[in-house]
Amino acid sequence: MVRVDCIRVSIVEDDDRIRQSLSALIDGSEGFRCMGAYGDATEALRKIPADRPNVVLLDINLPGASGIDCISELKSLIPAVKILMFTVYDDEEKLYKSLRAGADGYLLKRTPPARLLEAISEVHAGNAAMSSQIARLVVKYFHELGPANATEKLTGRELDILRHLAKGYQNKEIASLCGIGFDTVRSHLRNIYEKLHVNSRTEAVVQYLSHGASSRPNE
C-alpha cells in the first residue's frame, strides 16, 4: 500500500544500471515511492498509466521513440502528471523541444542525488526544476514569442518576482525576499502567467529572460 503523502515516481531509462540506481534512490528516500521503471518508450506508455505516478523521470535517448516524443502522449494519458527530463544532453535543441512538448523540468544526469529528489518535489508542487543557466540556453528560441515589450505590462512587484524566479528561487524563498506572504506570491504568479499568456513558471522565466531582463535596469 502506497502512502497517500508519498510522491509517486515512474522512471523511463534505458541504461539498466542507472535505472536500478534511480529506483533504489527513490524507494530508499522518505516521502518518495518508485511505482515502476521501464527501459523503453513502448513499455512505458503501455504501463505507466496504471502506475498513476505524480512525476515521471524521463530520459531522452531511448530505444524506438525518444523521451521527447513520449511527453505529449504521457500528458494525454495522465493529464495531471509532471514530466522531469533526466538526460546527458545539454544542447539547446533538445532543451527547447522538451519544453515545447510540455516538460515541467530538465536536469542533467550529473545532478547530485539530493538535488534530484528536490527537483522531483519541485515539479510535483507545480514549480519548474530548471536553473537560470538552463533557461538562458533556450532564450534564443523564444525571441519571437510575443512582442518584444511583453514584460512592460507587469507591475514592479511582478517584475521583482520574475527576477527571483529567473535566479531559481522557490515560492517560499521569494515570499521571504519580498517581505510578502506565500499566498500573495502565488497570486502574483497567476497574474504574471495571465499577462504573459504562459502556463508555467518555466515559460514565464523564459519570456522574462528573452524580452525583459536585458532591457530593464535593476531595481
Predicted structure pTM score: 0.68
Write the single-letter amino acid at 58. Answer: L
Question: Which residue, among 176, 168, 45, 180, has the nearest Cα to 115 in the 3D structure?
Answer: 168
Q: Domain 7-130, what architecture?
A: 3-Layer(aba) Sandwich (3.40)
Q: How many residues does the chain have?
A: 219
**Cα 212 to the center of its chain, rounded Å:** 21
**Fold: same for 7-130 and 139-211:** no
All three cell numbers of 122, joined, read 519541485
What is the C-alpha separation between 105 and 83, in angstroms, rounded? 7
User: For the sheet containing 105-108, what is the strand order?
Assistant: 32-38, 7-12, 55-58, 82-87, 105-108
Give residue limits of the domains in the chain. 7-130, 139-211
CATH 1.10.10.10 fits 139-211, yes or no: yes
Question: pLDDT 10s digit of each residue in the chain, 219 long?
Answer: 555 689 999 999 999 999 999 999 999 999 999 999 999 999 999 999 999 999 999 999 999 889 999 998 999 999 999 999 998 887 777 877 887 788 888 888 888 899 899 889 988 987 767 655 555 554 444 444 444 455 567 788 888 887 787 676 778 888 999 999 988 988 887 787 677 665 556 666 666 655 555 444 343
All three cell numbers of 78, joined, read 495522465
Question: Which residue, among 149, 164, 168, 142, has the nearest Cα to 216 in the 3D structure?
Answer: 149
Give me the DSSP letters along 135-148. Answer: HHHTGGGGTTSS-T
φ, ψ for residue 186 (rounded to 5)?
A: -60, -40
Tracing cell 528561487 back to the chain, one arrives at: 169
